[in-house]
Amino acid sequence: AQRVTQPEKLLSVFKGAPVELKCNYSYSGSPELFWYVQYSRQRLQLLLRHISRESIKGFTADLNKGETSFHLKKPFAQEEDSAMYYCALSGMSISRLTFGEGTQLTVNP
Amino acid sequence: DAGVIQSPRHEVTEMGQEVTLRCKPISGHNSLFWYRQTMMRGLELLIYFNNNVPIDDSGMPEDRFSAKMPNASFSTLKIQPSEPRDSAVYFCATSREDRGLVGELFFGEGSRLTVL
């Protein structure tokens, strides 16, 4: 079975502050992990994936297999980062994603 | 490309009525997923199709839910009879089975269902 846990439903930070959205997973095999984002009045869309090892909009995420975590980080949050963020895991079937419950990030001015 | 197209965007119905949600995938995408989004449970996978064939329907809550994909351009999710607890946003998402696009799902705008 595969499971994704995002412990914080709501996260609020001030502009310019560092932000970390937590994601933990449970999967017996070798996972592929993703972060999806849904901005207000926009479609849910891919933000980044761990295999690409890329930084998108200043966000990075490192897969820690020992801690089974894939936390999303940004050193200086911006107001436009306010959105719902979902962590997702792909296991046995490449395109079959299991999503976490989501974290609503609010960046205050 | 207009992306994944879902209809209706909003549906308000009474308990016991039949509800049909529709999805038009992106041309060339051969996997299609139906997800349900609620505040309590986030995004739950209901069913997914590959090349129009249902692969995994283990997430379908109960027999009241059914989904079809008669061709590569169209899918439906039907709830009959509907209940208030079915109220949620239903998303259709599609992907192309291609190593270079692994795991990227393209979502529709969702269908917000309210069952009174």
Q: What is the pLDDT of residues B43-80, one digit of tens each?
A: 999 999 989 999 889 889 889 999 999 999 999 999 99
Work out the minimum CA distance from B81 to partner chain A, whole angstroms: 27
Query: What per-residue confidence (pLDDT) applies to B46?
Result: 95
First vs last Cα of chain A: how many Å apart?
41
Work out the minimum CA distance from A97 to partner chain B, whole angstroms: 7
Most confident of A61-65, B90-94, B97-101: B90-94
Which chain A residues are closer than 8 Å to B91 by Cβ? 44
Counting beta carbons within 10 angstroms of the beta carbon of residue B43, is it exposed (0 to 12), middle (13 to 18) or buried (19 or more)?
A: buried
Query: What per-residue confidence (pLDDT) applies to B62?
Result: 85
- Cross-chain Cβ contact A102/B43 below 8 Å: yes
Query: What per-residue confidence (pLDDT) applies to A28?
Result: 85
Work out the minimum CA distance from A59 to partner chain B, whole angstroms: 18
Residue B28 scores a pLDDT above 80: yes
In chain A, residues 56-85 whose CB comes closer than 8 Å to chain B: none
CA distance B68 to A32: 28
**Among the partner residues A86, A88, A95, nearest to B31 by beta-carbon distance:** A95
Residue B100 scores a pLDDT above 80: no
Residue B9: partners with Cβ closer than 8 Å, 6 or more residues away: B109, B110, B111, B112
Q: Is residue A37 within 8 Å of residue A52, measured between CB atoms?
A: no
Query: What per-residue confidence (pLDDT) applies to B97?
Result: 74
Nearest CA in chain B to A102: B42
Percentage, residues of chain A above pLDDT 90 = 74
Mean pLDDT within A19-47? 93
Give which of B23, B17, B24 is closest to B64, Cα–Cα.
B17
**Among the partner residues A90, A96, A102, nearest to B42 by beta-carbon distance:** A102
Mean pLDDT within A74-82? 97
Query: What per-residue confidence (pLDDT) applies to A97?
Result: 87
Residue B114, beta-bridge partner list: B12
Nearest CA in chain B to A100: B42
Residue A45 scores a pLDDT above 70: yes
Query: What per-residue confidence (pLDDT) applies to A2?
Result: 84
Go through B7-24 and write b for each residue having 16 or more CB atoms within 10 A of its CB, e for each that does not: eeeebebeeeeebebbbb
Q: Is residue B39 within 8 Å of residue B47, measured between CB atoms?
A: no
- Cross-chain Cβ contact B43/A32 below 8 Å: no
* Cis peptide preceding B8, ω within 30 of 0: yes
- Say if A95 is an interface residue toward chain B (CB within 8 Å): yes
What mean pLDDT is reported for chain A? Answer: 91
Nearest CA in chain A to B94: A95
**In the structure, what pLDDT confidence band is assigned to residue A30 with cuts at 50, 70 and 90?**
confident
Query: What per-residue confidence (pLDDT) applies to B86?
Result: 96
Listed range (A33-47, B31-45, B50-64, B95-109) with the worst mean pLDDT: B95-109
DSSP one-letter string for A28-95: SS--EEEEEEE-TTS--EEEEEGGGT--BTTBEE--BTTTTB--EEESS--GGG-EEEEEEEE-SSTT
Query: What per-residue confidence (pLDDT) applies to B103?
Result: 64
